[in-house]
Chain A
Amino acid sequence: MKKFIVASLLVLASNLFAGEKLITTELLDEAQSSLKEAYETGCETLVPYEYYKAVVYYDIAKLESSKLNVTLGKAAALESIKWSLKAISKRYALEEKNDK
């Protein structure tokens, strides 16, 4: 019984750890693809301030995650995604404004 409980706890702990890791990497992947989309839509030249905000948070997210400061890594990845989306929406708003 004791062995079973210890094994169950180990499995649970490893799942939790793996879950946290997965979320961090998922967020990093998401941040990277958002950044890529922002770059491909020309945000680097059209809305550089917002684009570079996304870049710096992505760099921080990578750095902190590599140092196992997972919470800050996730927070920075989320910020990066937020700024990439801001850049993309501002870029299209500019295009609409120019069309008018």
Chain B
Amino acid sequence: MINKKLLILGLSTILIGSQAFSSTGKYTEFENKIKELHKLHAKECAPMEIAFAEGYLDTLKGLSIEGFSAKPQKIDKLVFANKVKIYLSMAEEKVYGDQDKDGVPCYKEIEQGTDPFEDVHKKEKIAQKLAPKPVPKVEKKKGYQPLKVNARIHFDFDKAEIKKDYLPYLNVIIHHLKENKNLKVKIIGFTDNVGSKEYNNKLAYKRAKAIELYLVKNGISKDRIEILGKGKANYLFDNKNELNRFTNRRVEFFVMDTK
């Protein structure tokens, strides 16, 4: 009789222990997910969802008041755990989602320093406004046409690094190329008139190469891209002042329909 009682007591202890372990395990899982989402800029991409998930999780673990930990009742624990799960999946969806439909997920845009919520059409409009003048037809090769969306990226003096300000426009171009799979793109780099011809040719090529690398990194096949460095050629403006030289230091995009 006593043995039976002991057996029941032992079994119930194991059962309660395992339940406690599993709930702790569940919270650890939630905590890890939250950590992972924070690394992917959830605070910026899904502030409401991550805040709600954290709030419910902290309440599940117990909120301290006057040195005492207040916990929800059993039924609320289930409800809150469910809410944590729902809000975490919503946050994940937003972090990996592309709210402005420019083809770049939210967390990546935050890493790049661009606005993940700005409407892509608005971006195009801004780009058109910012473009100094309509793009003159430089490339005469048959088949290639100037890209109609914002198609000019400018560079700092003696630099081939893409400026952060131009990433949104590049993202628009990527989006356009992803939508039109039959298009091939030709990227041509130009420089201002400072320095030797050979050096500027190399620099112009480097600029076109930097753009190519960015497009490839964002899912455009290398087979669809052709690059060229033209250096000191086809100036848009005379090189008399810094603004004009900056305008001349650029890459331009030309597309060809392969259909």
* Chain B contacts for A69, CB-based, 8 A: 70, 72-73, 76
Binary per-residue interface labels of chain A (52-86) against chain B in the complex, 1 for a CB within 8 Å, 0 otherwise: 11011100100110010101101110110000000
Contact (Cβ within 8 A) A76 B73 = no
Contact (Cβ within 8 A) B43 A75 = no
* Chain A contacts for B63, CB-based, 8 A: 72, 75-76, 78-79
Contact (Cβ within 8 A) B56 A52 = no
Q: Name B68's contact: one of A67, A71, A79 (CB within 8 Å).
A: A71
Binary per-residue interface labels of chain B (40-61) against chain A in the complex, 1 for a CB within 8 Å, 0 otherwise: 0001000110111011101100
Confirm or deny: B71 has a beta carbon within 8 angstroms of a beta carbon on chain A.
yes
* Chain A contacts for B52, CB-based, 8 A: 52, 55-56
Confirm or deny: B16 has a beta carbon within 8 angstroms of a beta carbon on chain A.
no
Confirm or deny: A48 has a beta carbon within 8 angstroms of a beta carbon on chain B.
yes
Report the bound CA distance from A49 to B87 in whole Å: 13
Report the bound CA distance from A29 to B65 in whole Å: 18
The DSSP consensus for interface residues of chain B is helix
Contact (Cβ within 8 A) B48 A75 = no
CB-based nearest A residue for B79: A63
| A-B interface contact total, Cβ < 8 Å | 60
Contact (Cβ within 8 A) A60 B56 = yes
Contact (Cβ within 8 A) A49 B70 = no
CB of A42 to closest CB in B, whole Å = 14
Contact (Cβ within 8 A) A56 B51 = yes
Confirm or deny: B64 has a beta carbon within 8 angstroms of a beta carbon on chain A.
yes
CB-based nearest B residue for A79: B63
* Chain A contacts for B68, CB-based, 8 A: 71
CB of A41 to closest CB in B, whole Å = 16
Contact (Cβ within 8 A) B72 A53 = no
Q: Name A53's contact: one of B55, B64, B73, B76 (CB within 8 Å).
A: B55
Contact (Cβ within 8 A) B47 A49 = yes
Contact (Cβ within 8 A) A67 B73 = yes
Contact (Cβ within 8 A) A72 B71 = yes
Which B residues fall within an 8 A CB radius of A?
43, 47-48, 50-52, 54-56, 58-59, 63-65, 68, 70-73, 76
Q: Apart from A52-B48, A53-B54, A56-B52, list 8 A-B contacts with CB within 8 A.
A: A49-B50, A55-B51, A57-B55, A64-B72, A69-B70, A74-B65, A75-B64, A76-B63
Please, could you name 6 A-B residue pairs with CB atoms under 8 Å apart, sorted by A?
A52-B48, A52-B52, A64-B76, A69-B70, A75-B65, A76-B59
